[in-house]
A and B are shown apart, each in its own frame.
Chain A
Amino acid sequence: MKILALLAASIPLAAQLQVAVVRDSGVEVAGASINLGATGIGESADTKIRATNLGSTTLNISSLAINGAAFSLAQPFQPFPLGPGTAYEFAIRFAPAAPGSYSAVLTVGPFTSIVRATAVLAADVSLSRGGQTILLPASGLSVDAVTGENVRIDLALSNPHAAALAIDPLTLNGAGFRLTSGAPGVLAPGESSNISIAFSTQTEGTFAATLTAGARRFAITAFVTKARLKPPRIVADTPVVTNGKQVKIRLRFEEAIPVASAGTLRAAFAGAFTDPAIQFQNGAREIGFTVAAGATEAQFGASAEAVLQTGTTNGVIRLEATTEGGTTSETWTLPRAPIAVDQAEARRDGPNLEVTLIGYDNTRTAGSANFRFFDRAGNPIGGIVTAQFAAAFETHFAQNAVGGAFRLRAVFPVTGDATIVGSVLVEIANAVGRTDLQRINFP
């Protein structure tokens, strides 16, 4: 123990502190001078420096500075202890305003070094969007994106100087970024060249890239958040929704969806009675949808339409289309209405006449029906025959889960010659009103 302590104490402080330049290409131990290379004027280039305590005792770093025109520390400095085997990183900034050669003295505690750098003419970088060009600051460009989005960045490199300017090399480094168009070359004074950059990722986070165009190094940062699909607009194939229909529904988005997404369309029914006929094509009141990347409409399986049966009961259907980004809704009121008859038939069955009506009563208050028979010449036969069906309707609606739908079969025994009867007029009523059917002919 004693021997080790003596050895450690014998190392000079300058040798105990190692200073290195951290570059993309690797770490270089700094000597008497550090060359930062060329930087475009107007640009701000940071270089990372790492100070490591190689000794076995703590070093108190009481001074850290860089003195020289166009140089500065990227962060403010405060004295700190540097423990044995630990390292401290900081950045020096070179931001020249004019071309030329620059130098400065870097001091890190007992360590000093001459820092050299060159400022050269460099291209301006502008953003091209919608036919307009916006000059970008040297600090770089930030873009917001969502996961899966294909971002396209159109830039213009221009030469604002009096001399020709090389934009060679022309490279782009950064995960998720890709240079899709543009070539290295030389820009004459006043000339510009367009380049395109593509960016896409499936991961949330911050993504950085560096565009190198000759002496210009330009930072591009993408802030990526998870894609959240905004709720769509609910579009029905009919402006007025009533009972007894199959309504085709499309879900439309304001703009093309950047990334494949999904959601749910629900139909909630509020009425005095339940109605199992109210359902989507999947047999439920909820159906999932997907949206392909680049699409503006949802898909329900293989179909672009959801089909909803509106049932045969008055009430309110509330449609809700829900995505990660929220919910939109549409409300359809199905008003109480007189009985609707979809099918009416009259036939003879031996000595009897039979009238069949298929329809629905969306109030479930059907009561009586009037029948008036005519001969083949159209003359009335007898008076109006009134039949009371209220109890039968009540039993039917209580026992059969088919909403307000019904089939009514009225049988009339005939005394005499039934063949002279040619047609029948039917009136059927519920609490809302009376429904008069067109004359039904006996075959």
Chain B
Amino acid sequence: MKKFAFLIAVAVCAQSPIEAPPLARVLDQGRLIPIYGLAGNFVRGEGGAALLAYSFDGDIEWRLEPGRVSANGAVLAVTEIEAVFRGATVTFPRTGETWRYDGESIVPADAASSAVAGRLIEWRDGRLFVTQPDGEIEVIDCPAEPSSITAAGAGWAHWPGHLLRLAKGRVALFVLPERRRE
């Protein structure tokens, strides 16, 4: 039986089909900042929520706020002020406890994930080794060891002053300009 597909011209959307490219979201001096633009041409958006820690890998958005940690809206009451987000897991350095977001709620976990935005990232001898989901390893120069890498969007990782593009075959390290001074 033959299958047919008839394409209708571009749908009329409620929202404009053209918008500023939302590239990443990073925590800067305790404020959540959206980053727009293109790789290497970043423009900061307006500062948003005040958070203690943040991570967004394109699928899961982790937020640590005073008294609670949340993942895609699922909330766990905590008293922590530091958290390490890796994939679907969060580890609290103070207690060493690890929790996991199972798609609905945050539950205790035996082990933490190692992935940042779906990749393993390792720094050795001035270079970053990025292991893609298919196992391929890409290597780029990175003279200074990153302080604390977090996921900042689908295919993006962040640490202070830098954004790391993780897309397969296009791994690249960029400088993230500081907040514009008036």
A residues bordering B, Cβ < 8 Å? 243-246, 276-277, 279-284, 307, 309-312, 342-343, 352-353, 358-360, 371, 373, 375, 381-382, 385-387, 389, 392-393, 395-396, 400-403, 405-421
Contact = CB atoms under 8 A, between A and B. Distances in A.
Nearest to B3: A417
Nearest to A247: B40
A41 B179 CA distance: 72
Contact of B5 (A277, A281, A395, A418): A418
B17 A392 contact: yes
A405 B37 contact: yes
Given A277-B42, A415-B5, A415-B6, A406 B178 contact: no
B73 to A, nearest CB: 22
A244 B172 CA distance: 14
A312 B19 CA distance: 15
Given A244-B41, A389-B17, A412 B8 contact: yes
Interface in B1-49: 3-11, 13, 16-22, 36-44
B5 A402 contact: no
Closest 8 CB pairs of A and B: A283-B180, A417-B3, A283-B178, A396-B18, A407-B21, A387-B10, A415-B6, A400-B20
Contacts of A417: 3-5
A406 B43 contact: no
B100 to A, nearest CB: 27
A142 to B, nearest CB: 47
A276 B18 CA distance: 19
A244 B40 CA distance: 7
Contact of A311 (B8, B21, B41): B41
B181 interface: yes
A420 B3 contact: yes
A395 B17 CA distance: 11
Given A244-B38, A245-B40, A277-B37, A414 B21 contact: no
Nearest to B36: A402
B174 interface: yes
Question: Which size class do B's interface residues fall under?
Answer: 35 or more
B41 A277 contact: yes
Contacts of A392: 16-18
A415 B43 CA distance: 39
A393 B161 CA distance: 31
A358 B41 CA distance: 12
Given A245-B40, A395-B16, A405-B43, 18 more contacts: A246-B40, A277-B42, A280-B177, A283-B180, A309-B41, A310-B41, A342-B38, A375-B5, A385-B10, A400-B20, A403-B41, A406-B20, A409-B17, A409-B19, A411-B13, A414-B5, A416-B5, A418-B5
Given A246-B174, A283-B181, A309-B177, A385 B20 contact: no
B175 interface: yes
B33 to A, nearest CB: 12
Contact of B175 (A281, A312, A342): A281
A415 B177 CA distance: 46
Contact of B181 (A282, A375, A395, A400): A282
A389 B18 contact: yes
Contact of A400 (B9, B19, B177): B19
Contacts of B20: 396, 400, 402, 405-407
Contact of B8 (A284, A309, A414, A419): A414
A405 B37 CA distance: 6
A393 B20 CA distance: 10
Given A276-B180, A282-B181, A358 B8 contact: no
Given A311-B41, A405-B38, A416-B4, A387 B9 contact: yes
Contact of B43 (A381, A389, A401): A401
B18 A352 contact: no
14 contacts: A244-B41, A245-B41, A279-B180, A282-B178, A309-B177, A311-B41, A389-B17, A389-B18, A396-B16, A402-B21, A402-B36, A409-B13, A412-B7, A413-B7
